[in-house]
Amino acid sequence: MASLEVPELAYEEYTNRQLAAVPLAILAVAVAVLGITFALTGTPLALGIEFTGGTELTIATTADQDEVAAAFEQEPTSIQPVEGQQQYIVRFAASDLEGFDEDGQAILQDLVDQADQNLEPAAGADGSSPVVGESLTSASFGQQIQFTALIGLVVAFIGMSAITFGLFRTFVPSVAVSLSAFSDLIIPLAFMSLFDIQLTLGTVAALLMLIGYSVDSDILLNNHVLRRSGSFYESVHRSMRTGITMTVTSTVAMLVMAIVAWFFGIGLLRDIGLILAVGLIADLMNTYLMNVSLLRWYKFEGVAR
């Protein structure tokens, strides 16, 4: 039976430059993607209605997607059907709704009324309304949340970097961890930008989680190389065996969560799963190409200086 064996990379055959080239190139592409999107749209990636303001209705109805779209006077910003349920998640951005800034709740009530009038509720809904869930965020509230979330990410990143400096007390290995964690964040962000996944509170949670998860393998690697006896390549290989096992296990768990949550239409869990999976795959590359090359340089050349 097939068993999972961690492959041994022939690090000796490549120079540090060659090893680091791949992750750095991908990081550059990711930054470019975010930069271009920023130049085109004003934000590096699409923001969810929690951040921009707007409303979201969850509608359980026997109608099909086109009928749902037609039920509203204002064309919805997006409609997402829920697999396996007669449900749709209908979103309206604040900028598409006239008068939303003055009295968003009244606008939301209008939308609910329109859904009540024009759509037949599905069997599962309580009572007579097809609207089973609704949410609203005012534009100003959204901005507050945006600001708070950004600060949260920055503080988390700085905190993580401070801890790694405290643990290793040496410059290059600590920078390697921070750089790899930075790339682990930027690559999923570019992925989101490319595949039009909105930045929501759920994805912010995933990014924070990623800061925690991704440094695990880096710490493991640094620990083996810097604090253990044995040759450099031996240490790297040993930490790779453990690190790849745990990262792949987490990635699989997150992918499963993303797929099942997507099937059930639970956006929050789907987003968290997907972002974490992408970030963890990026982490494999960053840890075992970029971080290893930095460590090797540090071990063989940096220390000698």
Partner 1 sequence: MSARETFSKWWRIAVLVLLVSVALYALFIPGGMFGSSDTGSVGDANETATDDSLHNLVFGLDLDGGARISAPATGMTVDDVTLDHGGTPEQAQQAGNDLESTLRESFQSEYDDFQAADVTVRYHQGDDSYTVEVFDDNVSAAAFAETLSAEGHDVSENDVEDRVTEETRESMVSVITSKLNQAGLSGGQAYTTETLGGEHYIVAEAPGYTAAELRALLEQRGSIEVRAYVPDGNGSQENITLLQQEDFDTIMSAEYDNEQNQYQVGVTLHDGPAAEFESQMNEIGFTSEGVGQCSLRQNAAGNYDFADSGDQWCLLTMSDGEVVSALGLEDRLATNMRSGEWKNDPRYNMVTGRGEGNEEAAQHANEISMNLQAGALDAPLDFGNAQVMSVQSSLGDQYKTDSLLIGIFAVFAVSGMVYVRYRDPRVALPMILTALSEVVILLGVAAAAEMAITLAHVAGFIAVVGTGVDDLVIIADEVMDEGSVTQARIFNNRFRKAFWTIGAAAATTIIAMSPLAVSSSLGDLQGFAIITILGVLIGVFVTRPAYGSILRKLLTSEE
Amino acid identity for residue 234 in this structure: E
Distance CA 252, CA 266 (A): 18
Q: Shortest Cβ distance from residue 266 to partner 1 (Å)?
A: 6
Is the Cβ–Cβ distance between 20 and 180 less than 8 Å?
no
Q: Shortest Cβ distance from residue 199 to partner 1 (Å)?
A: 13
Q: Shortest Cβ distance from residue 55 to partner 1 (Å)?
A: 8
Asked if 120 is part of the footprint of partner 1 (rule: CB under 8 A), the reply reads no
How many residues of this chain bind partner 1 (CB under 8 A)?
A: 84
Asked if 212 is part of the footprint of partner 1 (rule: CB under 8 A), the reply reads yes
Q: Shortest Cβ distance from residue 293 to partner 1 (Å)?
A: 21
Neighbours of 269 (CB within 10 A): 17
Asked if 225 is part of the footprint of partner 1 (rule: CB under 8 A), the reply reads no
Question: Of 14 and 141, which has the nearer Cβ to partner 1?
Answer: 141
Question: Of 36 and 151, which has the nearer Cβ to partner 1?
Answer: 151
Distance CA 187, CA 60 (A): 36
Element (H, E) at 71: none
Contact with partner 1 (CB under 8 A): which of 58, 180, 291, 293? 58
Q: Long-range contacts of range 266-274, CB-CB < 8 Å, 24 or more positions apart?
A: 267/80, 267/89, 267/200, 267/202, 268/200, 268/201, 268/202, 269/202, 271/197, 271/200, 271/202, 271/203, 271/206, 272/202, 272/203, 272/205, 272/206, 272/209, 273/206, 274/197, 274/206
Tokens of 116: 């009540």
Q: Shortest Cβ distance from residue 79 to partner 1 (Å)?
A: 17
Subset of residues 60 to 89 that bind partner 1, contact rule: CB under 8 A: 60, 85
Element (H, E) at 82: strand 78-82
Tokens of 96: 């598409």
Is the Cβ–Cβ distance between 162 and 149 less than 8 Å?
no
Asked if 281 is part of the footprint of partner 1 (rule: CB under 8 A), the reply reads no
Asked if 192 is part of the footprint of partner 1 (rule: CB under 8 A), the reply reads no
Asked if 202 is part of the footprint of partner 1 (rule: CB under 8 A), the reply reads yes
Contact with partner 1 (CB under 8 A): which of 43, 78, 101, 232? 101
Which is it for strands 78-82 and 54-60: parallel, antiparallel or unpaired?
A: unpaired
Q: Shortest Cβ distance from residue 301 to partner 1 (Å)?
A: 26
Q: Which stretch binds partner 1 (CB under 8 A): 24-32, 36-44, 241-249, 289-297?
A: 241-249
Asked if 264 is part of the footprint of partner 1 (rule: CB under 8 A), the reply reads yes
Contact with partner 1 (CB under 8 A): which of 14, 246, 299, 302? 246
Q: Shortest Cβ distance from residue 282 to partner 1 (Å)?
A: 16
Contact with partner 1 (CB under 8 A): which of 103, 120, 194, 301? 103
Subset of residues 127 to 186 that bind partner 1, contact rule: CB under 8 A: 127, 131-138, 140-141, 144-145, 147-149, 151-152, 155-157, 159-160, 162-164, 167
Dihedral in degrees, nearest 10, Cα atoms 46, 48, 50, 54: 100
